[in-house]
Structure 1
Amino acid sequence: MSGAPCVSLERISKRFGKGEKAVRALDGVSVEIAPGQITGLVGPDGAGKTTFLRIVTGLLHPEEGRVTVFGLDAVREQQKLVAQLGYMPQRFGLYEDLTVAENLDLYADLQGAPKSEREARFAEFLHMAGLAPFTDRLAGNLSGGMKQKLGLVCTLVGRPRLLLLDEPTVGVDPLSRRELWAILFRLRQEKNLTIVVSTSYLEEAERCQRVILLHQGKLLSEGDPAEIATRAAGKTVFVRSNEIPARSLHSRLARLPSVLSASIEGEGVRLLVEEPPFAEELATQGLAGVEIQPVAPRFADAFLAALGGRHKREGVMQRPSAPSAAGSGRIDQDMIVVRELSRFFGRFEAVKKISFHVRAGEVFGLLGPNGAGKSTTFRMLCGLLPPSGGVARVAGVDLRTGAASARARIGYVAQKFSLYGSLTVRQNMQFFARAYGLPPQRQAERIGWAEEEFELAVHRDADAESLPLGYKQRLALACALLHEPDVLFLDEPTSGMDPFAREELWLRIGEMAQQGVTVLITTHHLSEAEFCDRLIIIAEGRILAEGTPGEIKGPFRTPEMPEPSMEEAFVRLIERSRSEG
């Protein structure tokens, strides 16, 4: 590293709790961050990313070691650093009953921004974020992507030299993610800002000039993403079969001992393997006839390779999954029927006469940008929100007349964590098991299954609110499956999860579908849409496209881009819709 570092951590350690329950969030971490660069902070849930950022800001003090920022001690000289740092936590505190302009004024006051400079600063950053037309709109009425951009602008009004962002794109649609990253690149280029961003999107880490990889509080690796990617050379292959559907092939391959990671891409499965001579193992599994093609490694492959063996030994992926739900529908039966469904909020029409159907055992994706109407559609189909018009039937039950009986046959994981934060993990599961009417013996069986399957036993007595985000999602899914529903609604269940947790979840989803369970899911990880049998993309309450993943991507194939990604197809559909008005 040339020149003096912007941030220096020397043998930093930090524990939470005491005695046997103490958790070492950081363990002897030493690392330097160069000025004027975007540095990515990556690692699985519980790796220590948030603790790292809070120690740099001075909000937490290390038990051991020393932190310097711009040559100043982050503990003893914190007050000198406050004006030079901008920190955007995972839950940035926007005031939803204030307008965009009022939020900016409030944060400018808190950061001591001179009143004489505010108008120019606000105009500059609002224009950069595309929020200039919305200064009079209440923050609570902004889409998720717009809220994140407003949070970023509020962090910038004090003109910090160092910007620290904790998972800024969680729950944000792909188009808004691209816009947020465009802002970060401009800030680095035009303001020479030093930016540290933690992220669970490994493709985002590839955009950084340098990455820091943490695991269980230790520094596992650091360097240029492209250089790190080469460490997985020779370990990545693409497997295709003309006889076995991609999702079935994925389910069989993902559990092979030598496979560290598996993801569906187009008509096949991309694998990260421990041992490159892989064909012999496939032959022993009755897969001798599949096509195996080496592919170039990505940063994500090196990340997963660095952690994969440990996770495979410790995690749930290694053992067969217990039945998690029991679908009762015939494979040719429509378990969800939507015809001309609409929903008004006052005069605003959030869902505009959409129609689709989902068969038993099908994984059906509902995709769209923030504010498209996805969560409103979910809530109607779960019987939580009455439709304004149209027909909605779930498991053969008309939701206009039988919403209560339909709810007994469905499981629902909300977009926002909706369990009881002050109750422990086990108390939450006991509450929902009783609410679903399970007999005492069955309650004990299902709770025991959930604790093992989702690795929740170690957190059994922890308050749900204290869990890392990925574990909160695991708990929410476990509670939704306790009564073994026929239909499962998952509203962005992988938001904030690390790649291993997401892969575990999709393996479970595939297994449930094979058992006949119907799954309706939304996600902003568009690579996950490849796991769906069919999907629709909606924007502003209307359906823009419907079909298999291949059918959705088909219109965007060109000689220059013969295999467009789902994200590319999504972004182009949304941009075309907006340009057409």
Structure 2
Amino acid sequence: MDKGLVIDAQGVARQFLIKESGQVVRALHGLDLRVREGALTALVGPDGAGKTTFLRLVAGLLKADAGQLRVLDVDVAAQPQKVQDLISYMPQRFGLYEDLSVQENLDLYADLHGVGAEERSRRFARLLEMTDLGRFTARPAGKLSGGMKQKLGLACTLVRSPRLLLLDEPTVGVDPLSRRELWEIVQQLVEEERLSVLLTTSYMDEAERCSEVYLLHQGQLLAQGVPEEIRRHAEGLCRIAVPPAGQPARTLQARLLDEPHNVIDAVPQGGEVRFIRQREADEQRLESLLEGAPVREVEARLEDGFMVLLRAKSGAEKVDTESLRVAAPVGASGNGDAVIEVKDLVRKFGDFTAVDRTSFSVARGEIFGLLGPNGAGKTTTFRMLCGLLPASSGSLQVAGVNLRHARAQARRRIGYVSQKFSLYGNLSVRENLQFFGGAYGLSGKQLGRRMEEVSRQFDLSGHEGEPSGQLPGGYRQRLAMAVGLLHEPEILFLDEPTSGADPLARRGFWQRITALAAGGTTIIITTHFMEEAEYCDRIVIQDAGRILAMGTPQQVREQAGGKGSALNMEQAFIAIVEQAREVQA
């Protein structure tokens, strides 16, 4: 193993047998990958690329079927325990004990790793300071916000001083403030302790902070290098277009994405549309798509290079936007009238007020975003809107039904997609659709017709017999959406539906959402991807149960930074929350 390397993988292969179907899935094949000592290194790639499988091989939790893998100059296949004694690994679902306090969780993991009293005392003091959890040592882990849980998970992972830290999607499901704090901790460890870190991430701006990036696709290495090398693949192709006044940026974005021969990628950004043109684009067709929108060239980002490389390998997903657009739910014709009206909504849990006198309305066909830090009250608000949780007081009308008195009646008119996708993993795609269709009151020819329609709209054809638990994340997301829309609801509630999804999967998801809204379906969404707030007609930012900001994305950016603000949505979000907390302090 070369000096200065902490991981040396040569020709590593790993496959899995799916017992239910007898199918063999090749997660990694012929992978060559080297990670340098003292560096922050990122593994990126779409769902099913093999990122988590590689981390588990490095951690000695799986054994490669072929190839050589040395970790810290140890043959991990021959001596997995020796490797595990030298590294720390934080998986996506880190096992905190929710009934134990912060301190008790730290003590437990220190006991498991045999950390002595003297080292434990020194290590705990440093970790509690870095994570800012020193004030919460007596609080049960189950009572922490999502961001605090992630920080505690990282602290438990680091109760001993490892030579290599493996992080699998460490910032999934956390808000921008917590994400920033987690990154400050990791970068501090790299800079001050020269800790070697290998992480996977869905956020390309996080990968851009790393000294080296490896892009995986279908178990193979597609590209590697410093972020600048990945960016170069999109050099000279990136543009910003300004849509006509009054037209949502997502409308122009959807039009551009419908032309993969001319446009590689497009995404709303600050009220405009950032897109990557094909090198051989038809200039006349491109001008026609832009409909006279002013265009300027911009520098490429890592995400742009990522999209160029992936589109060249796998092409654009074909999204059946037309059938989604015309399949307007019953009663959804005509936009503008309010379908959700909330006034002075309050929800208390004992003495704790989770939602404090919240008021807003949502128009038919609107995409409305609920944003806020972990623990801000947005999930509680969301669950009350869905009829899953009764309000303590206030007025709440959904689809013309008073939710405080007729929740069951309202639920028949709404669809719901939860963050963890409430699917039955041991049932096939077809069986999930049949089960949920029956639960929504569909049967016979009507159920068969709707199953056929949503399978086409969400590109599930060919996967009907596969267990949903074995599907890649992007397909599970599509199936969850299909299930939520089987009964053609007027309103669709989406609770962090793209959490952990890669940029490719998020583009396809938002193409479908844009088409549904154009057909009259009202969309209520919570998300921690601030770029997704740009797809919304209006957004609300909550913290400590109260609304801090409400309006169009542009109005919210201006509230955070003044007229003509150049802040992006993540910067605006952080500024608004921090300003409000300073006033309350």
Q: Please, what TM-score do these two structures have when normalized by structure 2?
A: 0.95
SS in 1 for 2:346: strand
2:255 is aligned with 1:252: yes
**Residue 45 to residue 325, structure 1, CA distance change in 2 (3 Å):** farther
Counterpart code for 2:149: K
- What residue number does 1:399 align with? 403
**Separation in 1, partners of 2:418, 2:503:** 20
Mapping of residues 307-456 of structure 1, within 5 Å: 307-313=310-316, 315-317=317-319, 320-323=322-325, 326=329, 328-329=331-332, 330-456=334-460
Q: Which has the larger displacement, 176-185 or 459-468?
A: 459-468
Name the counterpart of 2:271: 267
Structure 1 residue 448: deviation in Å?
2.4
Cα distance in structure 1, aligned partners of 2:413 and 2:210:
45
Are the equivalent residues in 2 in contact too, given 1:424–1:460 (CA < 8 A)? yes
Cα-to-partner distance string for 1:191-228 (whole Å, 9 max, x where unaligned): 11100110011111101111110000000011001221
- Structure 1 residues 188, 302: closer, same or farther in 2, change over 3 A? same
Change (3 A) 1:260 1:447: same
Q: For 2:162, give the aligned amino acid.
A: P
Partner of 1:235: 237
Q: CA deviation at 1:251?
A: 1.9
* Residue number in structure 2 paired with 1:530: 534
CA contact (8 A) 2:271 2:553 kept: no
Corresponding residue to 2:211 among 196, 209, 215: 209
2:572 is matched with 569
SS in 2 for 1:344: strand
Instruction: State how far apart, in whole Å, the 2-side matches of 1:429 and 1:303 are.
Output: 34
- SS at 1:401's partner residue? coil
* Residues 263-294 of structure 1, C-alpha deviations (whole Å, 9 max, x = no match): 11123211112226564113444x44221211
- Contact in 2 for aligned 1:261/1:272 (Cα 8 Å): yes
The one-letter code of the counterpart of 1:7 is I
User: How far apart are 1:34 and its partner, in Å?
Assistant: 0.2
RMSD between superposed Cα atoms in Å: 1.9
In structure 1, give the amino acid aligned to 2:165. L
Q: How far is 1:31 from its partner? A: 1.1
Tell me the residue number matched to 1:305. 308
SS of the aligned residue for 1:7 comes to strand
SS in 2 for 1:39: strand
Equivalent runs, 1:91-102 vs 2, <5 Å: 91-102=93-104
Residues 149/295 of structure 1: CA separation in 2 closer, same or farther (3 Å cut): same
- Equivalent residues of 1:325, 1:485 under 8 A apart: no
Shift of 1:478: 1.5
Q: Hey, what's the Cα distance between the residues in 2 that align with 1:143 and 1:528?
A: 22
Confirm or deny: 8 A CA contact 1:272 1:301 kept in the other structure.
Answer: yes
Q: In structure 2, how many angstroms separate the alpha carbons of the residues matched to 1:305 and 1:4? A: 32
2:515 is matched with 511
Structural mapping, 1:470-509, within 5 Å: 470-509=474-513
Distance 2:200 2:187 in 1: 15
Residues 458 and 15 of structure 1: is their aligned pair in 2 closer, same or farther, counting only changes over 3 Å? farther
Aligned position for 1:164: 166
Q: Is the 8 A contact 1:46 1:468 kept in 2?
A: yes
Contact conserved, 1:7 with 1:34, CA < 8 A, in 2?
yes
CA offset digits 1:140-186 (Å, max 9, x no partner): 00000011111111100121110001111111101100000000001
Q: Counterparts of 1:288 and 1:489 in 2: how far apart (Å)?
A: 33
Amino acid at match of 1:9: A
Answering whether residue 474 of structure 2 is matched by residue 467 of structure 1, we say no
Residue of structure 2 in register with 1:150 after alignment = 152
Contact 1:38–1:210 under 8 Å retained in 2: yes
What whole-Å deviation, never above 9, does each CA across 1:295-353 have from its counterpart, x for those lacking one?
Answer: 1110000000001144435x233774545652624312100000000101111110001
- Percent identical pairs in the alignment equals 49
Match of 1:4 in 2: 4
CA deviation map 1:337-394 (0-9, x unaligned): 0000010111111000100000001111110000111111111111111100001100
Preserved CA contact (<8 Å) 1:211 1:223: yes
Q: How far off is 1:473 after superposition?
A: 2.3
- Correspondences of 1:50-69 after superposition (within 5 Å): 50-69=52-71
- Aligned residue for 2:406, secondary structure, equals helix
Matched, 1:540 2:544: yes
41-50 or 20-29: which moved more? 20-29
Q: Find the aligned partners of 1:369 and 1:575 in 2 and give their Cα distance.
A: 11
Residue in structure 2 matched with residue 291 of structure 1 by the alignment: 294
Please give the alpha-carbon distance, in whole angstroms, between the structure 1 residues aligned to 2:69 and 2:549: 51
- Judged with a 3 Å threshold, the aligned counterparts in structure 2 of structure 1 residues 468 and 90 are, in CA distance, closer, same or farther, namely farther
Unaligned 5+ runs, structure 1: none
**1:199 counterpart = 2:204:** no
What do the CA deviations read for 1:223-277 (whole angstroms, capped 9, x no partner)?
0012211221111111123354422212211211321211111232111122265
Instruction: Answer whether contact 2:90 2:154 (CA < 8 A) is retained.
Output: yes
SS at match of 1:23: strand
What count of residue pairs does the alignment treat as equivalent? Answer: 578
Residues 557, 565 of structure 2: 8 Å contact kept = no
In structure 1, distance between residues paired with 2:321 and 2:369: 27
Aligned residue identity for 1:579: E
State how far apart, in whole Å, the 1-side matches of 2:248 and 2:390 are: 37
SS of 1:400's partner is coil
